[in-house]
Structure 1
Amino acid sequence: MLTDVSDNGRNEEIDAAVRDGRPTFLPNLRLSTTTDVLPTLAVRRNDLDAAADRLAGWAPALAILFPELESSAGVIESPLVPLPSASSFFEADLPGNAFIKADHALPIAGSIKARGGIYEVLAYAEKVGLAGGLIRPGDDLRALTTRKARAHFANFHVGVGSTGNLGLSIGVMASALGFKTTVHMSNDAKEWKKTRLRNRGVEVVEHLGDYAKAVAAGRDQMSGDPRAHFVDDENSLDLFLGYAVAALRLKNQFDDLEIAIDVQRPLFVYLPCGVGGAPGGITWGLKQVYGDAVHCFFAEPAASPAFMVRMLSSEPRSVYDYGLDNRTEADGLAVAQASELVFGLVERLISGVFTVADDELFRMLVRLERATGLRIEPSAAAGLLGPARILGGIKYYGEHEISPASATHLFWTTGGSFVPEEEYIRFHERGAALLP
């Protein structure tokens, strides 16, 4: 049984800040070494390698389904974008390298959800194709892009509950293969995301409730149907593994840049967090690749700190239990309760969790565009507050015997390239009004 943080004498000011909706930082006192943690988990390195192999096998088929992937031979990946003059950008002393991991620009779905969501749909399509005799083990998966395959897939139903971006990735991928597809959207979902899905023939079911209620409705609709598959964002290892493959791709990118990552030259990663699947999968993957040389921090809206609330408790808790309303402009992160599956896998791997105010998201969104030309949505800006929230007091460096100048900082931007122009202008105007 986990020990409640208050039992350890943790600063009660953190708990008070959470209840008040004030931005704060919670260091993880449960953080352990990878040699102690990874062997105890239900997922292993061979699962990560198998997931990477599956995506590689699907690449030629994806290049057929999506012309925008022809130039990458069907590989869905985002660039590493250097952040020059990092210290001036963050208005804090941030020596060392700094990069944006630009998942907001991922093709097909325009968000980090293109990793886990698309992976799970592909895994299901492979399963259906094998069971239906469309392919045999080891066959070229381009056979699953034919008219015959589409006609077969049309007899099967894929569903998901989402605040927006996961629904986009599932809807686009499943409909492209020919599956009947339903996306249950919470009241936080943006209208343009619903429209984009409907334009692809996806059924969008709107709910008055929050993310959890949309997921529950989708789960109930699909249960008991042998020809239906529900992508359960709260409890899916396939999603988790799809996100984790990003760690292998990232290592290749750093290797190409001749940037070494080891205990003496650590990597700090700042990941926006909703229910936890994407940041959790990436954290686990990075720990498999870099071990204790990587330090991962989750970033959450102050109104929706689902993972922080879970870290503060010995049992599952909701942000509503803390008197919070789960209302934030960071719609992709508007989640009231963390995934218990993901929490169990990463509770001793993450270095900490911090929260941000909505106004901070809009300010950083504008500053990033001015510095780099990148356009992101508010939720994607959450990680950019990491240095101010975590490293303002150099204590973390000292506790882990890290030389600040030796570190590489990576900020994962999670969505935004498909945001309509008029919507982005609204984001920009709000952020610009908040800057000096």
Structure 2
Amino acid sequence: MEQIIAGKTVTEWENAFPLMSRIMDTKEVFWENPNVVATADLPEDKEVTMEDILEAEALFTRFAPFIRRVFPETEMTQGQIESPFKHVSHMKQMLEDTFSGTVPGDIWLKCDNELAIAGSIKARGGFYEILAYAEKLAIDNGMLLQEDNYEKLANDAFQSFFSNYSIAVGSTGNLGLSIGIISAKLGFHVTVHMSKDAKEWKKSLLRKHGVVVEEHEGDFSEAVDQGRNQCQRTSNCYFVDDEDSRHLFLGYAVAALRLKRQIQANHLSVNEQHPLVVYLPCGVGGGPSGVAFGLKKIFGDNVYCYFAEPTHSPSVLLGLMTGRFHEIAVQDFGIDNLTAADGLAVGRPSRYALDKVKHIVNGVYTIDDHMLYRLLYLLHEAEGIKLEPSALAGMYGPKQWMNKAEPPFGLEAHHVVWATGGNLVPEQDMESYIQYGKQCMEDK
């Protein structure tokens, strides 16, 4: 008798969704979301509004004096945590030469790999959630007013106060770095529960910051469960739930406001003839969903958002395609969830995130690990930019439209590849990534 998965047998799922067999065979696929709704017809979301996103950005501004003081690397940006937006014309040419086609439009890189302190997109959501929690604690206890200069939070009195509280989070790596670094700097006791996919250097870096790292043999979902359980047993413990967090979502959504300003600074027109097409590497779904949500609020129907997942970890694809969201895990379909893209090694997606973008995200495609390394090498050769493997998932997006006569968004698009991490990778590890990518190019 066949196993029942969310009410259907595997055969029934395969009959219902033609791509299912290829997904189960860990082959690359491209899925277009049939549930996308025009901006004017989207149901109103009263839980997360544009005003909420603007307030989230205001919180980052309030904390800028504190960030500037305790993280000297933010001196140039006066405590603001933001990444560059780069035109990568050489990479466009490299893609066209390598894959024998033409990309319909220009390619830009949103370099969240260069985000100060944590070196990845997770610095947005992770920092916002911890800073919002710290602000609430301090205000509720009569130690802080929103009108104050938040540089005062670096003083011993606040360090002592926050030491009475604990933070816990489950992570494959980058969210753990973000949560761990900012929490420890504020004075919290923080524990990061890491899955087996997490890189050793990320664990070592956390420990250098005074973070307790608990290692688990299971995958991301187990790490989250362990973190949640620990917090429930610990007094004054705050759990950052990557599977179900409005605060993380809001922090990620702030990126849309920042990108809008960078687009304007580069004198790019965004309209029906020149839309944005954004490619976002995707793990549990929170980061890309928050960004996509914010972009839709700003650019409406003139932005197309696509998520990118490893062929061995297509959890968001399965969740969205079947409409069963977090009820389905990749392991249910015999997929091992093993990938070099550690930040994307998630077997079960976020219910919260997928519910927010089920009518917004235009599609999801998958990418093989071998291709991640090829693109890593090509980007380094073309632009001298170093990213970790998972961050290259977005770079496969522009290739999807090569040699197609009529891409859905027109031929003069601005392709925006979200580079989600890489700057903190040790030089020795990065060099091994580049050399392996070169080997993959030679092996084809």
Deviates more, 1:152-161 or 1:37-46: 37-46
CA distance in 2, matches of 1:162, 1:8: 30
In the alignment, structure 1 residue 427 sits paired with structure 2 residue 437 = no
2:132 to 123, 130, 134: 123
Name 1:83's counterpart in structure 2: 88
Deviation at 1:144, TM superposition (A): 1.5
CA distance in 1, matches of 2:224, 2:405: 40
* Alignment of structure 1 residues 13-412 onto 2, 5 Å: 13-37=18-42, 39-40=44-45, 42-85=47-90, 87-91=92-96, 92-223=101-232, 225=234, 227-315=236-324, 316-388=327-399, 390-392=400-402, 394=404, 397=407, 400=408, 402-404=409-411, 406-412=412-418
CA distance in 2, matches of 1:323, 1:72: 47
Residues 418 and 36 (structure 1 numbering): CA distance in 2 closer, same or farther, change over 3 Å? same
CA distance in 2, matches of 1:396, 1:209: 44
| Structure 2 residues without counterparts, runs of 5 or longer | 1-5
CA distance in 1, matches of 2:248, 2:45: 20
Deviation at 1:430, TM superposition (A): 1.1
Residues 19 and 329 (structure 1 numbering): CA distance in 2 closer, same or farther, change over 3 Å? same
CA distance in 1, matches of 2:229, 2:13: 40
1:322-344, CA deviations, whole angstroms, 9 ceiling, x for partnerless residues? 11000000000000011000000
| Structure 1 residues without counterparts, runs of 5 or longer | none
Residues 391 and 361 (structure 1 numbering): CA distance in 2 closer, same or farther, change over 3 Å? same
SS of alignment partner, residue 89 of structure 2: coil
Deviation at 1:392, TM superposition (A): 3.9
Name 2:421's counterpart in structure 1: 415
SS of alignment partner, residue 271 of structure 2: coil
Percent identical residues: 42
Residues 276 and 41 (structure 1 numbering): CA distance in 2 closer, same or farther, change over 3 Å? farther
User: Would you say the 8 A contact 1:326–1:335 is kept in 2?
Assistant: yes
Residues 148 and 63 (structure 1 numbering): CA distance in 2 closer, same or farther, change over 3 Å? same
CA distance in 1, matches of 2:335, 2:228: 26
User: Would you say the 8 A contact 2:92–2:106 is kept in 1?
Assistant: no
1:368-407, CA deviations, whole angstroms, 9 ceiling, x for partnerless residues? 001111000000000111122x31463762xx4x431x21
User: Would you say the 8 A contact 2:102–2:403 is kept in 1?
Assistant: no
RMSD over equivalenced CA pairs, Å: 2.0
SS of alignment partner, residue 47 of structure 2: coil
Deviation at 1:223, TM superposition (A): 1.7
User: Would you say the 8 A contact 2:292–2:305 is kept in 1?
Assistant: yes
Deviation at 1:130, TM superposition (A): 1.0
Letter in 1 for 2:232: S
CA distance in 2, matches of 1:386, 1:157: 40
User: Would you say the 8 A contact 2:109–2:417 is kept in 1?
Assistant: yes
CA distance in 2, matches of 1:386, 1:103: 17
Deviation at 1:39, TM superposition (A): 1.4
Residues 212 and 291 (structure 1 numbering): CA distance in 2 closer, same or farther, change over 3 Å? same
Residues 137 and 56 (structure 1 numbering): CA distance in 2 closer, same or farther, change over 3 Å? closer
Letter in 2 for 1:262: N
CA distance in 2, matches of 1:409, 1:382: 14
Residues 154 and 14 (structure 1 numbering): CA distance in 2 closer, same or farther, change over 3 Å? same
CA distance in 1, matches of 2:278, 2:216: 34
Residues 10 and 204 (structure 1 numbering): CA distance in 2 closer, same or farther, change over 3 Å? same
User: Would you say the 8 A contact 2:13–2:20 is kept in 1?
Assistant: no
CA distance in 2, matches of 1:205, 1:95: 46
Deviates more, 1:12-21 or 1:268-277: 12-21
Deviation at 1:364, TM superposition (A): 0.2
With the length of structure 1 as denominator, give the TM-score of the two structures: 0.94
CA distance in 2, matches of 1:235, 1:331: 20
CA distance in 1, matches of 2:13, 2:268: 38
Deviation at 1:140, TM superposition (A): 2.1
State the number of aligned residues.
429
Residues 396 and 117 (structure 1 numbering): CA distance in 2 closer, same or farther, change over 3 Å? farther
CA distance in 2, matches of 1:393, 1:29: 23
With the length of structure 2 as denominator, give the TM-score of the two structures: 0.93
Deviation at 1:251, TM superposition (A): 0.5
CA distance in 1, matches of 2:95, 2:80: 32
User: Would you say the 8 A contact 1:134–1:144 is kept in 2?
Assistant: no
Letter in 2 for 1:408: H
Deviation at 1:89, TM superposition (A): 2.1
User: Would you say the 8 A contact 1:87–1:95 is kept in 2?
Assistant: no
Name 2:3's counterpart in structure 1: none
Letter in 1 for 2:398: P
User: Would you say the 8 A contact 1:134–1:143 is kept in 2?
Assistant: no
SS of alignment partner, residue 71 of structure 1: coil
SS of alignment partner, residue 403 of structure 1: coil
SS of alignment partner, residue 435 of structure 1: helix
